[in-house]
Structure 1
């Protein structure tokens, strides 16, 4: 079985080498780059499975690099390493296509768990043409169908997009602003109210399975429990 390829871009080389050695000891294949330009060149040549990018890098910062990659590659997971904690920076990163943030300082175990979680979600996306299990239901994202035994429920495009994002992050909090940016294009007040309406609709369509809940985690987002 081939190793998972990780492109790690970190300009603090001492830290980068520690992360590289730790990941390689867990059977990952890691390419370490010292700046954004080097990382872009490496990305084009190697096509990694996961990108772990420091935000503040010389020559090309992590945000710019992620934006460049997302123009042609919407799927490869991007995890930002950052010492920034401002909400604006987090939202900017998600808006540019980031999948996750890890704030410095962090433990290697946390980073590894987040990498594996992104790989699992990527596999779900690749299987989106297939039926996905959701408690007693079957969900088909492409056909926009929710199925319970022999009964089918047709979803709107937006309902299907919303349920797909929640299912990809099942049993974890999905950032409210991330959902709004991906589906509605912005996280303004009116779009937020619209999303709340769609959440209510999905709850009703999933009510036949009492083990499924869509929880509103106040101040953060939603959590699909199943």
Structure 2
């Protein structure tokens, strides 16, 4: 059975070309309006979402935020003519898995789709394992940290980063290795996004003085924890 993609794009020419290419391999449901796309998401099951940023009704950032409130696992790929690093970082902070700048190649888009679909399938087949870290319990499958019965929700990228830190606790991890292992690239934008994720994790762990994420100058980071 073909995987089902939600595709939100209001440029009719680009939408036709992209849909025509993707439909050879996937079931593509196309929307030209952000609100209509979100309404459909609430009634249908989608395996991946591809969102233009500039959409009528509800823009791509608003749509992604709304989708994330309903589903923290479905992969989201942004497509946008917006090239500012602030826009890309904003998209990733909302929980998107990638941000492709227009004009993009269909081959690159299809490669990204396959990577994220395979990752989702792999995650679904792995039995849930929790980790104890200081006074926290980390649930990587549900992207959450639990302390004193209170759950703190993480984004998928924050959870992936924390899992890598915990699996290499008290060990220095090189910055470039973290980026390549988790996101397949060591570019500037992903690096900035990672810094944002680490900053949030540090704020969360301030509640436990035995946990800290150390910055190792010109090398990387180390999670220090009991």
Shorter-chain TM-score category? 0.5 to 0.7
Report the counterpart of residue 57 of structure 2 in structure 1: 59
1:142 equivalent to 2:157? Answer: no
Q: What is the aligned partner in structure 2 of residue 95 from structure 1?
A: 93
Deviates more, 1:158-167 or 1:34-43: 158-167
Match of 1:161 among 142, 156, 163: 163
Superposition TM-score, scaled by structure 2 size: 0.66
Q: Deviation per CA, 1:111-151, whole angstroms, max 9, x where unpaired?
A: 00011111122234334536xxxxxxxxxx63469xxxxxx
Q: Which runs of 5+ in 2 are unaligned?
A: 139-158, 168-177, 207-211
Q: Are 2:211 and 1:196 aligned?
A: no
User: Taking structure 1 as reference, are residues 47 and 128 closer, same or farther at Cα in structure 2, changes over 3 Å only?
Assistant: same
State how 1:34-183 maps to structure 2 within 5 Å: 34-129=32-127, 142-143=130-131, 160-163=162-165, 169=182, 171-173=184-186, 175-183=190-198
* Distance (whole Å) between structure 2 residues aligned to residue 194 and residue 143 of structure 1: 17
How far did 1:173 drift? 3.3
Residues 1:185 and 2:189 aligned together: no
Change (3 A) 1:65 1:97: same
CA distance, structure 2, for counterparts of residue 167 and residue 128 of structure 1: 22
User: Who is 2:151 aligned against?
Assistant: none
Q: Distance in 1 between matches of 2:131 and 2:162?
A: 9
TM value normalised by structure 1? 0.66
Go from structure 1 to structure 2 and tell me whether the alpha carbon gap of 1:181 and 1:162 turns closer, same or farther (over 3 Å shift). farther
The 8 Å contact of residues 8 and 30 in structure 1, kept in 2 or not, is answered as yes
Moved more, 175-184 or 45-54: 175-184
- CA RMSD for the aligned pairs? 3.4
Q: Cα gap change, 1:195/1:15 in structure 2, threshold over 3 Å: closer, same or farther?
A: farther
